[in-house]
Structure 1
Amino acid sequence: MIGHFGAALFSYRPKRSDWIFAIRATAAGVVALSIAYALKLENPQWAMLTVFVVVQPVAGMVFAKGLYRLLGTLAGAAGAIAINLVSHGSPLLFLTLLALWVWASAFGASMLRNPEAYGAALAGYTAVIVGLPAFGHGELVIEIAWARTIEIMLGIVCAGLASRLVLPQFARDQMTSRLKGIILDLSSYAEGAFTGADRATLVSLSRKLIGEIEALGEMRAYVRLESPSLAAHGHSVRRTIGYLLSPLSAARMLRNHRPPQGVPPTPARIALRGLVADLRAAGPAAFDDIAPWIDRCKKIAADARDAPAELGKDNPDRIGTAARLSMAVEFAEMFAGVLRGLEALRSPGTGRRRERSQPALLVHRDAGSAFRNGVRAAVATTLVALFWLETQWADAAGVTVMVAVVSILFASRPSPIQTSFGFFKGTLLAVPFAFLTGQILLPMLPGFVWFVIVVAPVLVVAALAMANPRWTGTATAFAVNYLVFLSPHQTMVYAPQAFLNGAVSLLLGILLAMGVFAVVLPSRPREAVARLAGAIREDLVRLCVHDRIPRRSAFESLAYDRINQLMPYNRGPGSRTEAILSGSISSVTVGLEILKLRRAIVTDAVAMDVKRLLGRFLKRLARLLLKPIGERPVIDFVNATRDMAARIAHESDSADVLDAAASLRVIAAAVEDHPVFFRRVRQSS
């Protein structure tokens, strides 16, 4: 494992920003440790390792993670004090209260999003770290809680100041740069879709885009605390992330449903192809002035919206052309929304005041999974804590703490065992390095200067690895647990037995937590994907049959959030999860077409007989989404929908009726392209 990691690291070519991050993190850690020495704190290593826990390449992410680490620590310390005082030395009551606290923290961490979820997780395992050593010694609990809070606060302050003062990298710049790259990739994808590029190329670009969009969403969640301007534009950035998915879906549908042989492409399609080709060819320089690109999108959308009125009944592909024009309108409008989002991100001070009073964005929450995560963490922590209390094995405290940390922190990950194994690898890799430096070199080379000379190179390399997204989790585990094993003090002594006992206890704790993930209410990714897909289908059903027509923004907000939750489960090309993810993206298009049909029904835009047909169609679509069926009914639904579209368009020359027929064709095309998503399959027992 060391050889593989070393070979990968030597082949890695860090960027200048990576070196800045690594040196800044190491320097902040050294400063935090020196201050802890000066203050004669009992566990100075906590100040230094806190730096490596909260440090991030972007200043706002450091502030967000540090703030919620502090809040979580304060809550956990207060919880530990309360549990010890209430239990009065009763092991049964102590373990019961601790289990309830751990359950509540894991439940909260699963229901919240980063960085709030991180704060909830900290509250859980901080209570274990503070409460266990103080059990039976009530006079010590406040002292331990105070010491840990001071040590962690010191590390947070040092990391935060370093990220702000030493060659800072700000979130706005990072997000702007990333969003520009995504827009260019989206342009390449759309150009390929409009010109008939091969499927393998488009699939590769699509996967890259989805990964980049997911990373952008993760960054937005952390950096909204960087400055008031970014916080005020949180809705704008969130909508922009959603808008990125809609053009992707529209371009895919336009590719899959090209005009039949002999039917020329619409002017809108030609204009869109020219737009994305010009933008891709211009490269980053295209973003120097965004206004002309937005104007082109608006013109394409306006022309495409007016074009169906010119389609006569003699057109052999009248409805199909209207449907493709509808998708072209969606692509142009959503692409313009992405460009406006980039403009708002670059100049957040120009945002309109009304955005500050918008309602909270809707998010998906899975209370069932959160409950199971809480039970799993509580059971694991309680059993190991009971073992420690019964045996009084000194190193069992380390096992208990690590079980609590891993079972709470990684519980809500899509693959908690895999994530925990990455953490285990980083911890195991830290053992020989910590032994060499802490047990051999530093006892022979006393003094703070020698400590910096010996330890700093190891931490710089670890921080360089942390800057690479492929290694962030493993490298962070290495850096943090390297400092735990090293346990830096002003006088380093040779104590291999204590070192090995501590290392074994931490590694054993991680393995036990992994075993708990595998045995106690194990995570089932397929069920999580099914629940998310089912929730999106239920949203579509509500759009079909609910008495009140929901706001478009409310539907989009919740749908995009659920799609973001699906992205980490994507297993790659050809997998069922990729099919469901693609279908979920298309479901947003379907939802918007349903809203158009609902508005046509409640207004006088179409005749009463057409309204009745549309109402029956929406009920049939709702049954398709809710009732477990096979493949044949899906084919029948698609054919019946196309027949209905042809029928109502044939009986009327009204532009509103043609729009409704086009919406029916778009829905039929989406269901035909993504049958795995749109038909609910019967769950096997």
Structure 2
Amino acid sequence: MNPGRAIARLGLDPERLSFGLRTALASCLALAVAWGLGLEHPQWSAMTVWAASQPVRGMLIEKSAFRALGTLIGTLVGVALLATVGDHTAWLVLGLALWVGLCAGTGNLLHGLRSYGALLAGYSASMVALLGQTAPLGFLSLGIDRFTTVMVGVLVALLIGLLFGGRNREDDPSGRTRRLMILVLQRLARRLDGQPAPATAELTVLLSEAAAIEATLDAHGAGSAKGRHSARSLRAILATQIEALLWLERPDVLPDDGRAIATALDEAATALDDADGAIDALLVALTRAETRAASAPSLAMCLRRIAEAHRQRARFHDTGTTQSETLRRQVIRHRDWVHGRQAFLRTGGVMLIVGGTWALSGWAPGAYVLLGTSVMVTLFSTFDNPAWLMRRILAWQTVGAVASLVCHWALWPLATTEWHQLAMLMPFILLAVLPFAHRRTMTGSVDYVMVLLLLSQPGLPRSVDIAGSLTTAIAVVMGPLLAVIAFTLIFPTDARRRQRRLKAMMIRELQAMAARPESAPRPAIWRARLHHRIMTLMQWSHRLGDPAQAATRGSLAVYDLGRTVLTLQALGEKDTLSARERLAIRATLRRLDGLRHAPEAVADALTRLADFLARRGRSAAPVVERTAAHLRDQAAFFRHTRD
């Protein structure tokens, strides 16, 4: 029988089993190396291996770098805070609440492993500051020990990962992006050749593929500057694909010479399909299509951006770099500012409550409660459903705490040297491998070994009694328990809420554009951000199991309404318009203030404006009427949103 199949029949993932075993052995190695170097907390090195290890090398390198940077910044802040406040616990709690809250908020605004580095800088400061008050060698020595042990763990994880880890998957997003662009160009060509617009189902498939590719780009770009340039250039191409698909479904003006443009786009698709990557032929065909599309400015601009994105991709292939400023104008990634603010307030508030209770009660293990809480409410605030995840982590941390008590009081009394203690601890680390690889127990299982190691400070003679060990274990496990309460009661968050908030941000930006055009984002910025938000919305829909076509139709309605707002604003600035027409346009745009509460009323206002403009012979009337119909059809998308 195939060993892989036999393992799978037991419910184990063969790849995770191999990765978990490699990580557990590397963790034991880091524990031994840190102890051999005479570090005060060798178990922190073992914990770092579990935190930094990745199954593929690119992610391993980048995560290790951000772990080192985040730890360094957090350590410096923790040491500086202790040096400033001394023994004043209340000021220490206040300083930590502000810093860790700021890091949590920042981490929820950043993408990829930059987010991880920001979160780590927060709770690393907590670890140094809270344990430093009672450190026998002083907080400065603890800070040095913290950073050194983390670096030992990072280096061991890097060494083992580079020797035995896998490479980034061969099915990289480059080929998928190229194949999708071929389909987009071909579909544009058919539309311009007189065929009807694609059905919603077909458009959804194309948008979903773009969103799926975009979701892989952070991992694709990890590990090197060249990888980041590659991801940046691919993200720009994906953004132009979204722009082309939006135009394809909602063309404002069809060009006069559609057949000639279609021929040029077919040639561009053929050039892109060339195995040798005939970039020159692609750019020539796109330039010819853009020139022919002069009578349809939005299509011409879309084709120009497609050409520029592929020009940057070609530059990457030639030099390994891109022109960052050029791509930055084409790609503006969505940032959930509401979620970031809530993460800051939740994290800072919980730390003030827990820390204030500790300061008032004087209960010594309260420092461990605050430490565990700071890690949980910070690190897991970026997850889709942190309250649910905290329950799994709480269970596994309880198991880890029990395992540490068994190790300490059943085995360690038999040890005659610290090396014996480490040897007795290692089998408990290896026990994490099976639950880590099993599909039913993998979620949260790493926290078993994290708590086990956090509570396992080797040393002889032993100065803690069993009651003290039990109290500390309970204090640590209270961290995820308090985090469950925090994520459930204080700005509760989950995938559904974040999806709704994304919709709300898309709609609120339309309202800002309509109400205050002078302070709203420029049209190019709005479009670039909308492209990424549409991909993000598709990703949320797939995670939640929602019908993807609903996200497609809602996104099209948002795009259509935004374009109409810009059209009306441009029309309102024309000198040929009468005062009554300007007043009607301004009044209708002001009605968008009720878009999320009464979208049908906004649609009715647009219909009345379209009738009025039609009587005045204005060419914008059909556009406004179509937008009203789309808005009326997608009223549920606009109404079912909230911040």
Residue 125 of structure 1, CA deviation: 1.9
Structure 2 counterpart of 1:69: 67
Q: Distance in 2 between matches of 1:51 and 1:591?
A: 48
Q: Distance in 1 between matches of 2:584 and 2:564?
A: 13
The answer to whether the 8 Å contact 1:76/1:125 transfers is yes
Structure 2 counterpart of 1:305: 293
Structure 2 counterpart of 1:558: 529
Q: Distance in 1 between matches of 2:410 and 2:610?
A: 77
The answer to whether the 8 Å contact 2:233/2:309 transfers is no
Alignment of 1:167-246 (within 5 A): 169-170=167-168, 174-176=172-174, 179=177, 205=205, 208-209=208-209, 212-213=212-213, 215-219=215-219, 223=222, 226-232=223-229, 235-246=232-243
Structure 2 counterpart of 1:153: 151
Alignment of 1:5-20 (within 5 A): 10-11=10-11, 14=14
Structure 2 counterpart of 1:411: 381
Unaligned runs of 5+ in 2: 1-5
1:524 to 1:482, Cα distance in 2 relative to 1, 3 A: closer
Secondary structure of residue in 1 paired with 2:216: helix
Residue 147 of structure 1, CA deviation: 0.9
The answer to whether the 8 Å contact 1:290/1:339 transfers is no
Alignment of 1:89 with 2:87, yes or no, is yes
Alignment of 1:636 with 2:604, yes or no, is yes
142, 147, 159: which one aligns with 2:140: 142
Structure 1 counterpart of 2:3: none
The aligned amino acid for 1:546 is P
123, 126, 141: which one aligns with 1:125: 123
Q: Distance in 2 between matches of 1:615 and 1:471?
A: 64
Moved more, 56-65 or 425-434: 425-434
Alignment of 1:434-583 (within 5 A): 454=427, 458=431, 474-478=444-448, 480-481=450-451, 483-484=453-454, 504-523=474-493, 532-541=502-511, 543=513, 546=517, 552-563=523-534, 570=541, 572=544, 583=554
The answer to whether the 8 Å contact 2:103/2:118 transfers is yes
Alignment of 1:289 with 2:277, yes or no, is yes
1:461 to 1:123, Cα distance in 2 relative to 1, 3 A: same
1:43 to 1:268, Cα distance in 2 relative to 1, 3 A: farther
1:40 to 1:666, Cα distance in 2 relative to 1, 3 A: farther
1:228-251 deviation per Cα after TM superposition (whole angstroms, max 9, x unaligned) = 334456653442343343355456
Secondary structure of residue in 2 paired with 1:289: coil
1:96 to 1:578, Cα distance in 2 relative to 1, 3 A: farther
Structure 1 counterpart of 2:634: 674
TM-score under structure 2 length normalisation: 0.73
Residue 152 of structure 1, CA deviation: 0.6
1:548 to 1:666, Cα distance in 2 relative to 1, 3 A: farther
- Would you say how many aligned residue pairs link Structure 1 and Structure 2? 625
1:201 to 1:271, Cα distance in 2 relative to 1, 3 A: same
Give the share of equivalent positions with the same residue, in percent.
21
Q: Distance in 1 between matches of 2:17 and 2:186?
A: 32
Q: Distance in 1 between matches of 2:563 and 2:319?
A: 31
The answer to whether the 8 Å contact 1:645/1:662 transfers is no
The answer to whether the 8 Å contact 1:189/1:206 transfers is no
The aligned amino acid for 2:635 is P
Q: Distance in 2 between matches of 1:374 and 1:77?
A: 20
Q: Distance in 2 between matches of 1:432 and 1:139?
A: 29
Residue 527 of structure 1, CA deviation: 7.0
Q: Distance in 2 between matches of 1:442 and 1:304?
A: 81
606, 623, 640: which one aligns with 2:590: 623
Q: Distance in 2 between matches of 1:564 and 1:401?
A: 37
Q: Distance in 1 between matches of 2:481 and 2:250?
A: 46
The aligned amino acid for 2:209 is L
Q: Distance in 2 between matches of 1:416 and 1:75?
A: 25
Structure 2 counterpart of 1:39: 37
The answer to whether the 8 Å contact 1:462/1:478 transfers is no
Residue 141 of structure 1, CA deviation: 1.0
601, 608, 624: which one aligns with 2:576: 608
The aligned amino acid for 2:517 is H
Residue 403 of structure 1, CA deviation: 0.9
Secondary structure of residue in 2 paired with 1:608: coil
Structure 1 counterpart of 2:347: 377
CA-based RMSD: 5.7
Q: Distance in 2 between matches of 1:297 and 1:472?
A: 51
The aligned amino acid for 2:554 is G
1:599 to 1:375, Cα distance in 2 relative to 1, 3 A: closer
Unaligned runs of 5+ in 1: 1-5, 260-265, 310-324
1:73-93 deviation per Cα after TM superposition (whole angstroms, max 9, x unaligned) = 223223332333333323333
Q: Distance in 1 between matches of 2:267 and 2:436?
A: 42
The aligned amino acid for 2:64 is G
Structure 1 counterpart of 2:103: 105
Q: Distance in 2 between matches of 1:434 and 1:530?
A: 42
Q: Distance in 2 between matches of 1:498 and 1:597?
A: 71
Q: Distance in 2 between matches of 1:413 and 1:548?
A: 33
1:305 to 1:357, Cα distance in 2 relative to 1, 3 A: closer
Residue 140 of structure 1, CA deviation: 1.5
Q: Distance in 2 between matches of 1:573 and 1:300?
A: 42
Structure 2 counterpart of 1:322: none
Residue 510 of structure 1, CA deviation: 0.4
The aligned amino acid for 1:212 is A
Q: Distance in 2 between matches of 1:452 and 1:334?
A: 58
